[in-house]
Chains A and B, each alone.
Chain A
Amino acid sequence: MNLEELQIKIKTIKEQLKNESIVDSELLQTKYLGKKGSFNDLAKAIGQIDPEQKKEAGKLLNELKIHLTETIEKLEKSPKKASFEDLTAPGVKPKVGHMHPVSQAMEEITQIFERIGFSRARYPEVDWDWYVFESLNMPKSHPARDEWETFFVEAPVDPEKGKVVLTTHTSNGQVREMERLKSKPPIRMINIARCYRRQQDATHTQMFHQFEGLVVDTGINIQHLKGTLDYFAEQFYGPGTKSRIRPFHFQFTEPSFEVDFSCHICNGTGKINEEKCKFCKSGWHEVGGAGMVHPNVLKAGGIDPEKYTGFAFGWGVERTYTLKQGLNIDDIRLLYSGDLRFLEQF
């Protein structure tokens, strides 16, 4: 064999590799670079070459080896040449935990209100009767107090602020927020906290959560409350959800309202395929109370009701959350049961 013949053979091998139908790199490796591969065959033939040309032939062979190695390596790396993978095999998940649904709801509620200028605050869960009732226009032994099944704490009664109670609602934050701001509006607060009432059944737990909004400034009117509620309903339950307010009575707001959100299951019609919607009352869900802050509450917080007006609302986090479409939690006690079979679903 002479140098020319060698060059032709090298060219042939290169062509062959270029047009190779085999995709498995291991097989290619064997075919071209293996013991009995094309390269070795050619290398053995080098003995027959004219000694003068041997040096040049060695160089050519070396080039070929590099070329083959690199080409096969490249093929190996190109994705279409990957070896078999059973893609139907199930995944192995990294272990993740779960944020409690109440935390998830609180986070979402906070973010929704923060976008329109509310700031979240935190106030005591164990508080004086003054902040929980009396400053909210509920004198001692007022019948309105019956609605709150109150837990009392064994503690001395303060001559001015009264008994120590577990907060039955987040409204104790109203006068406290006014005090924090030294009675100087503007106020735009959202207060989310644990609350406690002496009752327990499928829709009530001794401990639950409320979120409370409070806005006080000059010129705040009923339209602003409606606007805020509509905004929240759309953000929390999705586009198209409406809110409505109906007359109600609370001692600490005047006028007072009951707040309903339109049912997203029947689209507020109260009917699914001509049948009564089982999830709502005639197309609406009652979620909680709201109202224009009572002048006596503003006064208790040192704010002049002649100059300022405001609105407030307070609802259960659990109730608001469980109305989410498709959630289907039928017993809110599950939330505080600590049952992982429940919690791991969130």
Chain B
Amino acid sequence: MNILIPHTWLLEHLDTDADPKKIQEYVSLCGPSVERIYDIESDKVYDIEVTTNRVDGMSIRGIAREAAVILQQFGIKAKLKPNNLPQTLRPETEVLPLPKISNDPKLSKRLICVVLKGVQRNPTPEWMAKRLLQTEQNVHDAVIDITNYVTHELGHPCHAFDYDKLMRTGGEINVVEAKAGEKFITLDANEFETVGGEVVFKNGEGDIIDLPSIKGTANTSIDDTTQNVLLLLESIKAEKVRFASMTHAIRTVAAQLMEKNVDPNLAKDVLVRGAQLYQELCNAQIASEIYDDFPGNQPLKPVEVKLETIHEYLGTDAAGKQVLTTQEIISILEQLECTVTSKNQTLIIQPPSFRPDLTIPADIVEEIARIYGYHKLPSVIMDTQIPTEKQKGVNFTLENRIKRFLASIGLQEIYSYSMVSEQIALQTDSLENHLKLQNPLTDDRIYLRKSLIPSLNEILDQNSHISDLSVFEIANVYLPKKNDLPNESLRLSIVSTKPYREVRGILESLLAQFFVTNLQVTQNSDTTGTILVSENDKEIGLGIVTMQSNNRVAIELEFSQLLLILKTHPTYQSIPKTAIVTEDMTFTLPKKIRVGEIMKVMSEVSTLITKVELKDIYNRNYSFAITYHDPKQNIASDDLKPVRKKIVQELEKHQGILVGTV
């Protein structure tokens, strides 16, 4: 989360002569990232990203504290100013009774409050309004704005109750968990119903009178008639705050801070500072002692860290020397307000109450390393052993070679979304056979696709101005499995506007790149076929080819099957010493003939036949180039006579009629 910090406000807590640019540069290097500096209301305002584990940095004072330590490290004068707040408050007037408070230490670590009498509804003074505007907060009047102001300054949310309204509800505050189905109305007049388990304040009758650490309720909050205020801070357990805030989507600043473990020790400073401002700006008088119930007042657990561990994380310098001495390490930790004792090469570190994020040795290492400066550590590539056990079933080099080859012969690679619309999903399978997103963002991305082809068709539709277009994608499809993760199956798909034989040719030349030359397609129907290769007399299916009604050819191959057959090198065939003879033969073949099967028949006629190629189709006349070779002797034309005759005979069985004579 980000916080806006006006420079002049920061200087009320930080004594430094560093200019804003230096503060931005150095604080960003060693602490929270100062992302930008704005000019607002004639002052520099820092926009600082504070990480979720460092809620102590979500205030002017918190940033001042970090900046003081960091700037000193760069040799710049910087000191956190003392806050000079009184230890306690005393009633200045006739005492008003405090409500009857009953806390549950399991739900709230602290509950602290004071009564302020005779609060005047004065406008927010200019200096405060300016700072609220600089930090993008709304300006109302002083009674309301004081609570936001002190929260921003010191980092612990607080709430101003209308004292009289609260007393009229019975003058009781009971910290309890709500049951399901209880109603409450927030101060901005929105109605909610509890789901059970939210921490709430209730009066004696069991009515909800506040949603503590999140938002006030209308029945006890300040309104136009408010005269007396109960300023109260509680420290509801972080996970309880988060639960209620998330459940009801009430994401106030207070909730976003309190769900991240704000230090309850801050509460008193905020109460006292708040009360002071009510005195100054609203002429209020303190009308009670401070009520302070602090069952959660326990020091954080100390962290033990071996010096060896610290040095291990930091590494050594080029000369093999440790980067920091023990004294330097301890000094950094002490600047961060940790208490450090050392024993047997081990440091025992007591973090300050506002650093609950320091729990393990690595947390301590981070503090030392960042304050020392990551930029000062050397850069070294590890000289440790290189692992050799590679993942099985993947071949990224092959994937890339396929992509490169297809692209170089004219195909465009596509990346399309894994999630598709209902309509696209239905092109592959019924909806219930698809995995579905529970919380899709848009209607066109709901189902996890089971084929890449509809997505590629969409791309072709989108680019319909290009008449000759072939695209491909290598990506997963997601095949649901019962009570398990889906099978993520990598596919290579091609969709093309080219004629079938050209698309098949693309595939053939792709496989030839990987020394596979025996691609076959078996016809399953008029428009679909199975793509396969034979290896060791076994047929290995690679995928499906479809002639689509839009005249496009679509191919989808199973990548894992390709991995089985593609080769890194060919098997060398000795260069023939005898002549190779190629002759043409033309046959008239019947309609709907499967010429691939005919060619297979032809090639099996004689062992002399080494290759049968389809040269040309004219009407129903098919010309074949037949290659003959005998490795032992040169073939004479007469030797081929019986073979030619046999070819003619075989083709006659398939209604093939020879054109010409043999």
Contact = CB atoms under 8 A, between A and B. Distances in A.
Interface residues of B, number: 90
A154 B31 contact: no
Interface stretch (A43-51, A82-90, A319-327, A338-346): A338-346
A144 B413 CA distance: 37
A103 B312 contact: no
Contacts of A244: 29, 374-375
Nearest to A131: B485
B417 A186 contact: no
Q: Main SS of the interface on chain A?
A: mixed
Q: Which of B242, B360, B415 has the most CB of A within 10 A?
A: B415
A interface bracket (residues with beta carbon within 8 Å of B): 35 or more
Contact of A100 (B243, B394, B414): B414
A154 B436 contact: yes
B313 interface: yes
Given A207-B419, A222-B313, A186 B442 contact: no
A239 to B, nearest CB: 15
A148 interface: no
A117 interface: yes
B509 to A, nearest CB: 14
Interface stretch (B130-138, B229-237, B462-470): B462-470
Q: Which of A143, A151, A282 has the most CB of B within 10 A?
A: A143
B448 interface: yes
B412 A343 contact: yes
B378 A223 contact: yes
Contact of B379 (A97, A194, A227, A247): A227
A120 interface: yes
B441 A97 contact: no
Contacts of B411: 97
Contacts of B412: 97-98, 340, 343-344
B387 A340 contact: no
B574 interface: no
A154 B28 contact: no
A256 B366 contact: yes
Nearest to B390: A119
B7 interface: no
A186 B377 contact: no
Contacts of A257: 374
Contacts of A76: none
B25 A164 contact: no
A96 B410 contact: yes
Contacts of B31: 247
Given A230-B379, A255-B365, A198 B476 contact: no
B438 A154 contact: yes
B483 interface: yes
Contact of A249 (B52, B374, B436, B438): B52
27 contacts: A94-B410, A97-B412, A98-B413, A107-B400, A116-B381, A120-B396, A125-B476, A128-B485, A141-B243, A151-B438, A154-B435, A155-B435, A181-B387, A185-B387, A194-B475, A198-B441, A206-B417, A207-B417, A222-B369, A223-B315, A231-B381, A254-B360, A254-B366, A256-B366, A282-B25, A335-B415, A343-B414
Interface of B: 24-25, 28-33, 35-36, 51-54, 239, 242-243, 246, 259-260, 312-315, 360, 362-363, 365-366, 369-370, 374-375, 377-382, 384-387, 389-391, 394, 396, 400, 403-404, 406-419, 435-442, 445, 448, 458-459, 462-463, 466, 469-470, 475-476, 478, 480, 483, 485-486, 488
In the A-B complex, list the 8 residue pairs whose CB atoms are closest, starting with the nearest: A255-B366, A249-B51, A117-B386, A338-B459, A254-B362, A223-B315, A221-B315, A152-B438
